[in-house]
Chains A and B, each alone.
Chain A
């Protein structure tokens, strides 16, 4: 139930991220379109001068017409400048889009990381990797190395293989796989003993790594923050 709701939440989160990024891109695309529509086009000044020329019947002398042409020319030069401004603004808009998209992505990543941190804090330890090394008789949980006996390694391997196949083994089945006999002929208690031994060896070492640290030639120390110790 909790895992299904978790995946559901993740799906909803992904949808929100996609929607948010789409909204950002859409808003900035609309802004870009408005920018290109609203800026006066290069011909606006010429049209203005032309209208001035047509509407005033007494603007006919050569000098006046030359002046109007110069006016139109400077307007055109200014509109060229505007076009370059428009390009610069457009580039800035693209930058803004990229930054906003990155910001949203990072925000979501931060939230996800926070949730994961919270889960790790609650669980105490989260296994990110489990490596079984048969020849060194050791198992690596995250960065911790645990030395195990042959029997414990055997039990752990069987459990790991079963886990990879999504199988649940009874004590008798474990004993059967390890001893090579038929599971029906095996005792349930024998398997339970194997599990208990594995738990003992692994559990004791894990506790010693997590809680009681052994500093060579000095002694033992609690490997936890002072503030979390409480006496009742």
Chain B
């Protein structure tokens, strides 16, 4: 039993290491008055637009933001060029 859980943890660890870091950029809004923002977030698990959407929606909703769309996913290489645009929302959610 113990060996089984240990091996499972090892497996999980190996998959996260094996995966390159995954980021997504998105657009979100707040109503009354209308506020918009462009942000970059880190995606855990499956590196796809769909999983980024499902993760972001809840995280943004906690602060009263509504996700509009996810533009795409990218790895570390694309991080720097988006840093300026995202501003205070760079990796905030």
A residues whose Cβ falls under 8 Å from a Cβ of B: 43, 46, 49-50, 53-54, 57, 60-62, 65, 68-69, 72-73, 76
Give how many A-B residue pairs fall within 8 Å (CB-CB): 43
Q: How far is the CA of A54 from the CA of B37 in the complex (A)?
A: 11
Contact indicator A53/B71 (Cβ below 8 Å): no
**Which residues of A lie under 8 Å from residue B57 when comparing CB positions?**
none
Known: A61-B85, A62-B87. A50 touches B37 (CB 8 A): no
If over half of A's interface residues share one DSSP class (helix, strand or loop), that class is named, otherwise mixed; here it is helix
Contact indicator B36/A60 (Cβ below 8 Å): no
Interface string of B74-85 (1 = CB under 8 A from A): 000000001011
CB pairs A–B below 8 angstroms (30 shown): A43-B31, A46-B31, A49-B36, A50-B29, A50-B36, A50-B68, A53-B27, A53-B29, A53-B36, A54-B27, A60-B25, A60-B27, A60-B38, A60-B82, A60-B85, A60-B86, A61-B38, A61-B84, A62-B84, A62-B85, A62-B87, A65-B36, A65-B37, A65-B38, A69-B35, A69-B36, A72-B33, A72-B34, A73-B34, A76-B33
Q: State whether the Cβ of B69 lies closer than 8 Å to any Cβ in chain A.
A: yes
User: Closest CB-CB distance, A48 to chain B, in whole Å?
Assistant: 10
B residues whose Cβ falls under 8 Å from a Cβ of A: 25, 27, 29, 31, 33-38, 68-69, 71, 82, 84-87
Of chain B, the residue at the smallest CB distance from A55 is: B69
**Which residues of B lie under 8 Å from residue A49 when comparing CB positions?**
34, 36
**Which residues of A lie under 8 Å from residue B25 when comparing CB positions?**
60
Contact indicator B85/A54 (Cβ below 8 Å): no
Of chain B, the residue at the smallest CB distance from A51 is: B68
Q: Which 4 pairs of residues, A with B, have the shortest CB-CB distance?
A: A72-B34, A60-B38, A60-B85, A46-B34
**Which residues of A lie under 8 Å from residue B84 when comparing CB positions?**
61-62
Of chain B, the residue at the smallest CB distance from A56 is: B27
Contact indicator B34/A76 (Cβ below 8 Å): yes
Q: How far is the CA of A49 from the CA of B31 in the complex (A)?
A: 12
Q: How far is the CA of A49 from the CA of B16 in the complex (A)?
A: 39
Q: How far is the CA of A116 from the CA of B15 in the complex (A)?
A: 103
User: Closest CB-CB distance, B44 to chain A, in whole Å?
Assistant: 23
Known: A62-B85, A62-B87, A68-B36. A53 touches B31 (CB 8 A): no
Q: How far is the CA of A54 from the CA of B28 in the complex (A)?
A: 9
